[in-house]
Amino acid sequence: MATLIQMPKPTEHIPVLAPELVALADPQPGEVAVDCTFGGGGHARLIADRLGPTGLLVCVDRDPAAAARYEELAPELPCETRFVRGNFADALARLAEEGTRADLVYMDLGVSSMQLDVAERGFSYAYDAPLDMRMDPDQETSAMDVVNEWPEDRLAQILREYGEERHARRIAREIVRRRPLSTSGELVEAIRAAVPPGYRFGSSHPAKRSFQAIRIAVNGELDALDRALPLAWSLLRRGGRLAAISFHSLEDRRVKRFLADRARGCICPPEVPVCVCGHEPEAELLSRRAVKPSEAEAERNPRSRSARLRCARKLVDAGSDPVEAESR
């Protein structure tokens, strides 16, 4: 039986890579910015300061806790603001349908401290709580549904693909054997029982990858990111910037590939000696490599250690109707 540990009070929200985001994205007075993952509003406050009274900040989040935080913070922000509740891919599609054009779109991906630090939401493997993990509590599917209803093969697949968990098959088999599971503590115990002793006492928690995988599956995070990137790009005016902070390789690879594809010039096959495609790059990468937290930031905020920031500037005017971007 898992031990019930009293949950501490939620910690103060600490925005990750905040100075680096502001420096790379370089928001200017009077611009329009879209914050795709408002969360605790840490990045929003810094961006709003740069936009000033003539600027507009559109804040997006699916979590009602973020909506409540926006209501608290909005009166303090120096620019005009607006909140759109929903999955950021859906929200970007809605903005595109409205004809919104932006100078900056940025994303702080993954789970927020606001979600991790509230025990009853079930995101953390460190505390015993109901299996939930929904970023939007109004959605139907929760971690309890995934853990107790999905077939063993499907469970193993998401643990392997979304968690990059090498013991995925053994963990999935043990979860199915122990059904029904109702708390995060019971899930942790199932994972501990499934993995080899050396894995249980390694440098990271043995449930870390599995919890990540189940959370991604519950919230459709990677599908949303795949939809959101082209939509965000379509909203940008010429000279606009797209920035994303990711926390694991599955997110970072998608962002890196998306931006690199748009920064490419010639797309002729390697065997063609002279360029005949005439393809011009759509983007300028604003850093050669992903920007990582400084040692000082990682020391202050250990959750920032895996963060990676990428940013690019759009070099072309918006072409087709942005609504079409979602289907491309």
Going from N- to C-terminal start, the domains of the chain cover: 18-113+221-327, 120-219
Burial 61-90, CB ≥16 within 10 A → b, else e = bbbebbeebbeebbeebebbbebbbebbbb
Mean pLDDT value of segment 62-76: 96
- Joined tokens for residue 279: 């393809």
Residue that is written with structure tokens 């919104």 in the block? 100
Residue in 184, 192, 205 with CA at minimum distance from that of residue 132: 184
Q: Which one is predicted more confidently, 97 or 3?
A: 97
Whether 46 has a pLDDT exceeding 70, the answer reads: yes
Rounded to an integer, the average pLDDT of 176-202 is: 93
CATH of 18-113+221-327, one of 3.40.50.150, 3.40.50.300, 1.10.10.60, 3.40.1030.10: 3.40.50.150
**pLDDT value of residue 293:** 96
User: Contact, 237 vs 246, CB < 8 A?
Assistant: no
pLDDT score of 6 more than 70: no
Higher pLDDT, 121 or 266: 121
What CATH code would you report for 120-219? Answer: 1.10.150.170
Let me know: does 11 contact 90? Beta carbons within 8 Å.
no
Percent of the chain with pLDDT over 70: 92
Question: Where does residue 29 rank: exposed (0-12), middle (13-18), buried (19+ CB within 10 A)?
Answer: exposed
